[in-house]
Structure 1
Amino acid sequence: MDVSPGLRERKKERTRLRIHRAALRLIVERGLDAVTVEEIAASAEVSRRTFSNYFAGKEDACLYGDTAHMEDFLTVLRTRPAHESAWTALRATVRTVYDARDLSPDREWAQSTRLALKHPALLGRRLAGQQGFLHEMTALLGDRALPAGMHRPGLLASVFLSALLHALHEWTQEGTGTLDGVMDSVLDEVGAAFTDPAPPP
């Protein structure tokens, strides 16, 4: 599936990302409660009205990176061939999403996100978003073959998300390699414990 956006969508994505990064920067520097939407818009060099066209509030702007990646992931997972096992579909989806995004996360973004999420309101919203993501992923895995000995799609989804979050943390902290390289390594390690069931006769 080609998930590459057109020129107009890429421009809109860059504007969203600019606002997102401005929100992160200001919230890390001053805290969520001390930052206004107007200040974020000015820092991103957009109008207050433009900000509102993209985000409902500063919390949404701060959490945009997470939200965008989860939405992209679910969109691609829905299109994976029905014959693929759950684990194969998940691995392929990660690769497709990473390759398709022009604006991949960098370590500064990841570090800033962790600092900003120390605010309880943002952390709570992020966790709620992850729970929604897990629910959707579990539903999409429900009709796929699970690894041998596994019977709960939700368990596989939880393990997979935990591996992705671990990879992001490791990449941010250790400062070596590329995110996709670290992610592949972590998923290879997790996947070594799984074996796809034998195909039906």
Structure 2
Amino acid sequence: MTSDVGLRERKKRATRAALSDAAWSLMTESGIEAVTAEAVAAAVDVSPRTFRNYFASREEAILDRILQRVTTFVEALRARPAGEPVWDSLAYVLPDMIMEMLGERERDAATLARVCAENPAMLAQQLAALGHVERMIAEVIAERTGADVERDLAPHLLAAVPGFAMRAVVTLWAEGATDRPLPDLVRMSIAQLRDGLPLGRAAPPT
């Protein structure tokens, strides 16, 4: 019985992943309007009803592939040396995280940034996904620092850094404002945040 349950769960995860991958591919290849329950289901050879059993919206389906990959990042963060400063841990794992989330296809970053900017529903779903990710990261930071994730503010503030840093980096890159590789931009963003963002300080008197 246990093996049967395990097999069913693996099949469910595989179907969910296949549906999300198909939704992502349709968006990057044909635009978000091409992502319908019928089109995604046809790509995976299941019924539209099956799609709706897994996802409440096309936006949720598109971003689910990224959300699932974040688990790898959270575990990588948890596995960093216990005495390592959290900023250093973030600088180490975030570049790999962003490339893993995008499937090592930087052009997809530009597509995702553009779609989120143009589609309020997609932006809302992205923010909801980021909120879920931030909670997981806050829990890891609290474990590493001895903080109380339910009462202390610091783990939540630091957990917000990856999502907002990556969104700023991807937007800057997607708009063609820099030709630096995405991983380098992520490292730069962490370094600037760690150093206290000099632009936030008062300018010296002239």
TM-score by length of 2: 0.65
The reply on whether 1:21 has 2:25 as its aligned counterpart is yes
**Two-structure CA RMSD over aligned residues (Å):** 3.6
**How far apart are residue 190 of structure 1 and its match?**
2.1
Q: Any conservation in 2 of the 1:19–1:40 contact (CA below 8 Å)?
A: yes
Aligned equivalent of 1:182: 185
Offset of 1:130 from its aligned partner? 0.9
- The whole-number CA distance in structure 1 between the counterparts of 2:113 and 2:100 is 24
Structure 1 match to 2:130: 130
Higher relative contact order (CA 8 A, sep 6+): 1
- Stretches of structure 1 lacking an aligned partner (at least 5 in a row): 1-11, 195-201
Q: 1:116 to 1:187 in 2, by over 3 A?
A: same
Deviations 1:105-138 (A, max 9, x none): 322x223223433333332222111112112211
Aligned to 2:161: 159
Which residue number in structure 2 is paired with residue 47 of structure 1? 45
2:170 counterpart residue number: 168
Give the percent of matched residue pairs that are identical in Structure 1 and Structure 2.
20
Q: Deviations over 1:70-107 (max 9, x none)?
A: 33321222222222222122222224535767931322
8 Å Cα contact 2:137/2:159 also seen in 1: yes
Partners of 1:95 and 1:25 lie apart in 2 by 25
Distance change >3 Å, CA 130–CA 111, structure 1 → 2: same
How far is 1:141 from its partner? Answer: 0.6
Instruction: Report the secondary structure of 2:123's partner residue.
Output: helix
In structure 1, the partner of 2:110 is 111
Runs (5+) with no aligned partner, structure 2: 1-15, 147-152, 198-206
CA 1:181–1:84: 2 relative to 1, 3 Å: same
Q: 8 Å contact 1:76–1:97 — kept in the other structure?
A: no
SS in 2 for 1:48: coil
Q: Which of structures 1 and 2 has the bigger CA Rg?
A: 2
More helix as a share of residues:
2
* In 1: Cα distance, 2:98 partner to 2:168 partner: 16
- Answer whether contact 1:85 1:144 (CA < 8 A) is retained: no
Aligned residue in 1 for 2:89:
89
